[in-house]
């Protein structure tokens, strides 16, 4: 049984724009090659707290990452750590906050830009620190890691939609065009990943309001999509799931036991 997973976390993509502008992803859904869920995010709807929520399966009041200004390593067991200690290879092409949370702090902009260390939780990493870093380059970073190291768990974390949302708002033509761009990039890679035996999850940490921000409780910032591709799923429709279920679901897909603090919840319809 192949237990390799690619996890694409699109920063700042809200549910409404995702399902209206991402034609390739919805094509997969229409043809029952992908399954779509609506995720209700945890609070606060800020990036670093939700990175920690997604990767550890714990809410902010437990994990202590309650805002973007906290700079320290995570105190919780992450998917990266669980995979590493069980002999799986981990990799990430992601914003530098992931390196700070799961590898080392502070981030060294010169030496940690490319960080390969088999003793770290993210063993093979390429990190960016400019919010305008091109999504096309980021996906290539992830593909380089995949081809070079053959990781069992690979995180790919593009920031372009979030960056555009802060400049133009979550209902702007610019934001919608950026969603089209990400959809096109995914259409380039997904078939190859599937042929190479990966299961794929695509989701977002939070959404974006029309007022150029997130951090509150509005639907546009708190509802995000989650697609699952390459896994056996019974037909699902209009199912809302909690964000806390992502970590234990990925552990299950990797063939690993979840941490004690992760909830007992697997995606509805998922047959493992």
- pLDDT by position in tens, the chain (length 272): 579 999 999 999 999 999 999 999 999 999 999 999 999 999 999 999 999 999 999 999 999 999 999 999 999 999 999 999 999 999 999 999 999 999 999 999 999 999 999 999 999 999 999 999 999 999 999 999 999 999 999 999 999 999 999 999 999 999 999 999 999 999 999 999 999 999 999 999 999 999 999 999 999 999 999 999 987 777 776 789 999 999 999 999 999 999 999 999 878 888 76
Q: Assess if residue 265 is contained within a domain.
A: no
| Domain encompassing residue 150 | 4-253
Number of domains into which the chain is organized: 1
CA nearest neighbour of 271 among 220, 230, 234, 228: 234
pTM confidence score:
0.97
Q: Assess if residue 182 is contained within a domain.
A: yes
Give me the residue label for tokens 């960016």: 128
Q: Assess if residue 9 is contained within a domain.
A: yes
Q: Assess if residue 259 is contained within a domain.
A: no
Q: Assess if residue 260 is contained within a domain.
A: no
Q: Assess if residue 269 is contained within a domain.
A: no
User: Which residues, at least 6 apart from 249, have a Cβ–Cβ distance to it below 8 Å?
Assistant: 201, 265, 266, 267, 270
Q: Assess if residue 268 is contained within a domain.
A: no
What CATH number should be reported for the domain holding residue 193? Answer: 3.40.720.10
Q: Assess if residue 199 is contained within a domain.
A: yes
Please check whether residue 66 is in contact with residue 44, taking contact to mean a CB–CB distance below 8 angstroms: yes
């Amino acid at each position: 049984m192949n237990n390799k997973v690619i996890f694409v976390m699109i920063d700042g993509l809200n549910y409404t724009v995702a399902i209206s502008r991402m034609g390739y992803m919805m094509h997969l859904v229409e043809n029952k090659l992908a399954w779509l869920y609506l995720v209700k995010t945890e609070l606060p709807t800020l990036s670093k707290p939700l990175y920690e929520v997604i990767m550890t399966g714990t809410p902010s009041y437990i994990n202590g990452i309650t805002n973007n200004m906290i700079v320290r390593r995570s105190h919780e067991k992450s998917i990266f750590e669980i995979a590493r200690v069980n002999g799986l290879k981990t990799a990430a092409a992601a914003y530098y906050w992931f390196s700070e949370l799961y590898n080392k702090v502070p981030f060294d902009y010169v030496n940690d830009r490319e960080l390969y260390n088999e003793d770290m939780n993210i063993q093979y990493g390429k990190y960016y620190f400019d919010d305008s870093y091109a999504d096309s380059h980021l996906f290539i970073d992830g593909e380089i890691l995949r081809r070079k190291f053959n990781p069992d768990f690979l995180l790919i974390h593009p920031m372009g939609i979030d960056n555009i949302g802060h400049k133009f708002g979550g209902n702007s033509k610019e934001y919608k065009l950026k969603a089209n761009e990400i959809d096109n990039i995914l259409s380039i890679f997904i078939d190859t990943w599937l042929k190479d035996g990966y299961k794929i999850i695509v989701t977002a940490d939070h959404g974006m309001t029309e007022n150029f921000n997130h951090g509150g409780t509005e639907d546009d910032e708190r509802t995000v999509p989650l697609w699952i591709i390459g896994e056996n799923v019974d037909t699902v429709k209009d199912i809302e799931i909690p964000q806390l279920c992502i970590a234990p679901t990925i552990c299950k897909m990797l063939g690993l036991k979840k941490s004690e603090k992760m909830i007992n919840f697997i995606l509805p319809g998922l047959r493992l």
